[in-house]
Structure 1
Amino acid sequence: MEDEQLTIFDETRNPIGIAAREEIHRLGYWHETFHCWFIHNEKGIDYLYLQLRSPLKKDYPNLYDITVAGHLLASETVQDGIREIKEEVGVDLSFEDLIPLGIIEYCAEKEAFIDKELAHTFLYKSEKPFDDFILQEDEVAGMVKVEFAQFAELWNGERDTIKVTGFEMRDGRKSFFEREVGQDQFVPHQIPFYKSVINGIKKNI
């Protein structure tokens, strides 16, 4: 995976070449990713579906994250990013099923890891109960749902914790749970990133 070849960009989003994923994160090159947020209306309440990252992940293990996300290879178009949905959560969609929310810039640094993403971001209005997902367990350990209104309040600084309900895979079986979580239990995307996503979703539900 660290040898994956990705297109790299300058600060004004102009492509400047191709580099290996490991080099990109070590040197901090801008690169493209595919993000898709699933939202589901249940009895008049909008819920976001979030993934629990696998403990095997090199980056941000055991944290809650975007429903589906992944890197776009140098050989891929944005439309090809749809493969991530099938691979990670077992849902077969077409690109036309998605609502585009735009390209959101995201940058995070920790130790020798610099992640500078041009995230092609999409929304999918799901009719699928989250406990029906088939997970790629080396990538995704579980799925949860959270009221979208609470999620927005968390990242707008209006509450300290939110309730997540879902399951995680243990020895091939789903173990269901409900718990209160705070910002520190999510992948540390910058708060402006979360706010941009929230505003984009609000305009499309």
Structure 2
Amino acid sequence: MQKKDDIVKIYDDMFNLIGAEKWSVVHARGLLHQVVHLWMYGDEPDGRWLYFIQRSKDLDVFPGLYDLPVSGHIDPEETFSHAVVTLTRERLGLKLLPEYLKHVGNIRQIVDSGNYHDNAFCQIYVKRLRLPIPEFEIQGAEMLFKTRYDEFCQWVEYPKGKLPIYTPTGEFIKDSVEADWWWPRKNEFIKVVKPYIDKQHETI
């Protein structure tokens, strides 16, 4: 989990490195910084699935909402891929190798909510989970779940109905609604992640 005294690099609007600052200051002042996002999907006998988490209900910002399985800041001495590896091990208990991660693009994300100002340049990664689906050891989140890829693609464009979500082993949890989700990820999925995943051939 990100700590408020963690140090991250900050940039000007031309993406020139201008220094480093505490996490709490970065979000209080809306300083431009870089983060990594990891999307996970799996091709299973009954179709393609996307994996998400429910954020901890103890978080100060957007507690309990549904979000990416892994996202976070980059330590000053880390590369993007090693940040993904470290965060995935800490939060999901999965050991990934940087060479098997796919960097699919980036997107600027700006979120202003009360005293929280997120001004981030997001480095986006995708990981395909192969069968058998691994056993996860979740830390700092309420749960990990999955949803059918085709249903998510249709729903995310017009999220007025319900989207069923399931445990990693396929048991139905609930019909989620728009208010359950943290929506800064919507454009990222539509513009960057979906075009990449759609090009991947399904092989079990």
How does the TM-score come out when normalised to structure 2? Answer: 0.87
**Distance (whole Å) between structure 1 residues aligned to residue 47 and residue 130 of structure 2:** 13
Aligned residues: 195
More divergent stretch after superposition (74-83 vs 155-164): 155-164
**Distance (whole Å) between structure 2 residues aligned to residue 128 and residue 54 of structure 1:** 28
Deviation at 1:192, TM superposition (A): 2.2
Of 117, 120, 125 in structure 2, the residue corresponding to residue 117 of structure 1 is 120
Of 75, 79, 82 in structure 1, the residue corresponding to residue 81 of structure 2 is 79
Cα root mean square deviation, aligned: 2.0
Task: Give 4+ residue runs of structure 1 displaced > 3 Å after superposition.
Answer: 128-131
Of 187, 196, 202 in structure 2, the residue corresponding to residue 200 of structure 1 is 196
**CA distances 1:96-152 after superposition (whole Å, capped 9, x unpaired):** 11111112211111001011111111111102566821111xx21101110111111
* Aligned sequence identity (%): 22
Do the aligned partners of residues 158 and 71 (structure 1) sit closer, same or farther apart at CA in structure 2, a change above 3 Å counting?
closer
Classify the secondary structure of the residue corresponding to 1:132.
Answer: coil
Of 102, 112, 124 in structure 1, the residue corresponding to residue 105 of structure 2 is 102
Deviation at 1:158, TM superposition (A): 6.7
Of 178, 181, 192 in structure 2, the residue corresponding to residue 186 of structure 1 is 181
Q: Is the 8 A contact 2:6 2:22 kept in 1?
A: yes
Which consecutive residues of structure 1, in runs of 5 or more, have no partner in the other structure?
Answer: 168-175
**Distance (whole Å) between structure 1 residues aligned to residue 76 and residue 110 of structure 2:** 20
